[in-house]
Chain A
């Protein structure tokens, strides 16, 4: 599958075939889909829960950097959202 180009203005949203949910019993966010589940690690969960179709990649990055009092997360966010697009966990909103 070819890479889908994304940039700071892209607005990702959880794909309609998936549901993102916090599961206390697993202490993790999970993506639910027909007869299956992906257990997400902490950073994947933090990024995906911000993919609401309104926030841009730049917004998401800024929010994460503020929340976790750090900087320089841009490349990580782009890399993960690119992966999530390939896996069709998210789709880009126009």
Chain B
């Protein structure tokens, strides 16, 4: 979504009247056939209320479009688990949205892709993750590969660009070269090698998923080699894990500036993970209009501008570039969402990041725990584990 940032207003010291929520993400359902350990969905998803019904989603679309929203993401969970997806797409198309479906491909057959195309779906981003609970089968799993090949062929047949998204982490990042060959074999036009961001399930599993610095550097080198060798035009984006950076990412271009997401139960949030932020009101679209939520609610207003900032952000000249980084990461790591994102090496909490990286740099032999330590098992995203974590 980098392109969207071009049209956003710069932050000023007063709380600015925000522009429209140009980017609307609807998380249509938390239902998902997969159990990814790096999922950013909240770990308490099993406890959330009932999903919005079709009419609710259609109303959200109309309200958002009237405010100026134009890029629409349909995600989840697995959005294909909603059998009204085609209805939602058709209405979004009628309203003039550019519609991106973000899917694992599970459940995408020819009947559905034909219907989605006819309804006006603009783009499919196929995520590559393994549904098995054996992470080391990620690449050798023929079932996964066959499914993705089938879906990739359908995507091409229906004249969509092939955009593959592969989430990287400690257990698969050493296979970047094979992943790129696979993407090439599937005929991908764009490949996003997105390192895991540590929220939700990924946060629970962080110490098992964070790669070592060596792994990241080898993966970047492999990506460079592949780019130089590969003749076919396949654009590759390598998203470096922010734990290895010295400055934070300009998360969401500042909360409440361009992005609005609605969760399956109708809660409106300024980013996918923001529900965790304490003390803020995140209204439900069943009870309030999107305009009220966007302009009036504390959940969207609180982190606009920079009045909320503490030092070192408040007096930092870079605050207009990175907005202090990610509020959720600041909260998860320091307990205070108004602190600088600890990724920043000016943050007094930066040691929390360097300690996590130091742990990740441990020897990889069999990925065993350091002597004497008992390593936490990976926790797979499932309703059972969701209930167990929040019982």
Q: A25-B20, A25-B68, A26-B68 are in contact. Are A35 and B1 (CB under 8 A)?
A: yes
CA distance A16 to B123 in the complex (A): 12
Q: Which residue of B lies closest to A31 (CB)?
A: B3
Which stretch from A5-13, A36-44, A49-57, A64-72 is at the chain B interface?
A: A36-44
Distance to closest chain B CB from A9 (angstroms): 27
Q: Does A80 have its Cβ within 8 Å of any Cβ on chain B?
A: no
Give, as a whole number of angstroms, the nearest-CB distance from A17 to chain B: 6
Contacts A/B (CB < 8 Å), 22 sampled: A21-B98, A24-B68, A25-B68, A25-B70, A26-B22, A30-B70, A32-B70, A32-B71, A32-B98, A34-B123, A34-B125, A35-B71, A35-B73, A35-B123, A35-B125, A36-B4, A37-B4, A37-B22, A37-B70, A38-B3, A39-B6, A39-B7
Taken together as a complex, chains A and B put the C-alpha atoms of A86 and B385 apart, in Å, by 50
Contacts of B20 in A (CB 8 A): 25-26
Specify which chain A residues have a CB less than 8 angstroms from the CB of B190 in the assembled complex. Answer: 34
A93 within 8 A of B: no
Name B93-137 residues within 8 Å CB distance of A: 96, 98, 100, 122-123, 125
Chain B residues, Cβ within 8 Å of A24: 68
Q: Using an 8 Å CB-CB cutoff, how does the interface string of B1-34 with A read, 1 for contact, 0 for none?
A: 1111011000000000000101000000000000
The tally of residues in A whose CB lies under 8 Å from a CB in B reads: 18
Interface, chain B (partner A; CB < 8 A): 1-4, 6-7, 20, 22, 67-68, 70-71, 73, 96, 98, 100, 122-123, 125, 159, 161, 163, 190
Which residues of the partner chain A approach B159 to less than 8 Å between Cβ atoms? 16
Contact A23:B4 (CB < 8 A) given known A32-B98, A35-B125: no
A17, A19, A34: most-surrounded residue (chain B CB, <10 A): A34
Q: Which residues of A are at the interface with B, using a C-beta cutoff of 8 A?
A: 16-17, 19, 21, 23-26, 28, 30, 32-39
A24 to B3, CA, bound (A): 19
Cβ distance B152 to chain A, nearest Cβ, rounded Å: 15
Indicate if the CB atoms of A21 and B125 lie closer than 8 Å.
Answer: no
* Cβ contacts under 8 Å, B70 to chain A: 21, 23, 25, 30, 32, 37
Taking CB atoms, residues of chain A closer than 8 Å to B2 are 36
**What residues of chain B lie closer than 8 Å to A34, measured between beta carbons?**
100, 122-123, 125, 161, 163, 190
Residues of B within 8 Å of A30, CB to CB, are: 70
What chain A residues lie within 8 Å of B73 (beta carbons)?
A: 35
Report whether A35 and B100 are in contact in the complex, using a CB–CB cutoff of 8 Å. Answer: yes
- Cβ contacts under 8 Å, B3 to chain A: 33, 36-38
**Lowest 5 A-B CB distances belong to which pairs?**
A25-B68, A36-B3, A32-B98, A39-B7, A34-B123
Q: Enumerate chain A residues within 8 angstroms of B6, measured Cβ to Cβ.
A: 37-39
**Which one of A25, A28, A38, A39 has the greatest number of beta carbons of chain B within 10 Å?**
A25
Complex-state Cα separation, A54 to B279, whole angstroms: 57
A24-B68 Cα distance, complex, nearest whole Å: 8
Q: Within 8 Å CB of B122, what residues of A?
A: 19, 32, 34
Interchain CA distance A64-B302 in the complex, whole Å: 46
**Complex: how many Å from CA A17 to CA B7?**
20
A25, A28, A36: which contacts B67 (Cβ < 8 A)?
Answer: A25
In-complex Cβ contact of B7 among A21, A32, A33, A37 (8 A): A37
The residue on B at minimum CB distance from A30 is B70
A94 to B3, CA, bound (A): 30
Bound complex: CA A41 to CA B256 (Å): 25
Chain B residues contacting A26 (CB-CB under 8 Å) are 7, 20, 22, 68
Q: Within the complex, what minimum Cβ distance (angstroms) separates B29 from chain A?
A: 20
